[in-house]
Structure 1
Amino acid sequence: MEDPLLWLWIAVGAIVVVVLVLVVWTASAAASMRRLGETVDARWRALAETLERRRGVADPLLSTADEGQRRTAADAFGRLESARLPGAKAEAEAAVQRALRPLVQAAGSQPSGSAAADARAALAALDDEAQARRRDYNTGARELNAKGRRFPTSLFKGAAGVPREFFEVDQAGAVAEPPRIQF
């Protein structure tokens, strides 16, 4: 004869095990989203800091610029520093690139070793670093957004700030005017 109490304990044990598995799975999903969100936030801060360092690097170029160029660059840098979201930061970054383009082109004719030539080289290195950080941030944002669409992590997407906006600078202005070559 079978003991009905034994079957009851087996059923209760199975339910407890299933509940524990669901709790662990949900907690793991929440922790995973939180970690990935923190990683993307750190990547965003690194990108923003890199973009904002450009002002100090561009100072030698700005010192040789006329008042209108300095004012335009100061406005663009001010918008870049005050922008907090990727879309606004990208628009401000495009404005900074437009403001610095004539100064960088003029610095190309300066002799090697001059402050303007050194600033141009430093800006090029900083642009490369910013591009790498932009790709890093966008990769993390894409991963976080994708993870936020899957269950059970979709339950915690609000806590991780999903969806994240991508940082994409409009490069149309960069190619709208070809570089001028002077001999």
Structure 2
Amino acid sequence: MEAMDPLLIVWIVVGALVVLALIVLAWGIAARGSLRRLGATVDERWASLATTLERRRAVAEPLLATAGEQQRTQAADAFTALERADRPGAKAAAEGEVQRVLRPLVQAAGSQPAGSDAAEARAALATLDDDAQARRRDYNTGARELNAKARRFPASMFAGSVSVPREFFEVDHTGAVAEPPRIQF
């Protein structure tokens, strides 16, 4: 058996290391790209959710027209806080306050005849709430997926460049349970 040339062995080892380095580099680049794309998707979902929530003011306008001055002031403050909030936690807290302020107005609109502005606003708010819930679930699913992906190697090395972890958007509905609905006959 003939012995291998030591220079050939060095070249084989160097070649293997270069190939391994290229594979690791490609894997890292792919992970970073995937994390950035998922981050952009989550950002788009957040923007869509925020826009949906902020449309509530225009939809609730007919209900606010029949409200007292104090209720209109509370609603204006709640809507302003909702529009100013930029993070999911802050926007969720503001959304909970908007729901708390609008609840009596929506309940009062239930006694209005069909076709009235208040009844149509109530139906439009219900549709908008359904849309907001779907967008909330969509955003939270994306945020959960992004957070999970950012914890895995090699994406964990690039998590800081994509602002991970992302906050979830969860509205506190304890006020809805704490105050039972008022039924008027």
Q: Which range, TM-score by smaller chain? A: over 0.9
Q: CA deviation at 1:147?
A: 1.1
Equivalents in 1 of 2:16, 2:51: separation in Å?
52
Q: Residue 182 of structure 1 corresponds to which residue in structure 2?
A: 184
Q: Residue 118 of structure 1 corresponds to which residue in structure 2?
A: 120
Q: CA deviation at 1:55?
A: 0.3
Q: CA deviation at 1:62?
A: 0.5
Unmatched runs of 5 consecutive residues or more in structure 2: none
User: Does the residue aligned with 1:180 lie in a helix, a strand or coil?
Assistant: coil
Moved over 3 A (4+): none
Q: Residue 137 of structure 1 corresponds to which residue in structure 2?
A: 139
User: Does the residue aligned with 2:151 lie in a helix, a strand or coil?
Assistant: coil
TM-score between both structures, scaled by the size of structure 2: 0.96
Q: Residue 63 of structure 1 corresponds to which residue in structure 2?
A: 65
Q: Residue 151 of structure 1 corresponds to which residue in structure 2?
A: 153
Per-residue deviation, residues 45-101 of structure 1 (Å, max 9, x unmatched): 000000000000000000111111000000000000000011110110011001100
**Residue of structure 2 aligned with 1:168, choices 154, 170, 182:** 170
Per-residue deviation, residues 117-136 of structure 1 (Å, max 9, x unmatched): 00000000000000011111
Q: Residue 95 of structure 1 corresponds to which residue in structure 2?
A: 97
**Residue of structure 2 aligned with 1:6, choices 8, 13, 21:** 8
Per-residue deviation, residues 15-64 of structure 1 (Å, max 9, x unmatched): 11001001000001110110111111111000000000000000000011
Give 2:17's aligned amino acid.
I
Equivalents in 1 of 2:179, 2:152: separation in Å?
44
- RMSD (Å), alpha carbons: 0.9
Unmatched runs of 5 consecutive residues or more in structure 1: none
TM-score between both structures, scaled by the size of structure 1: 0.97
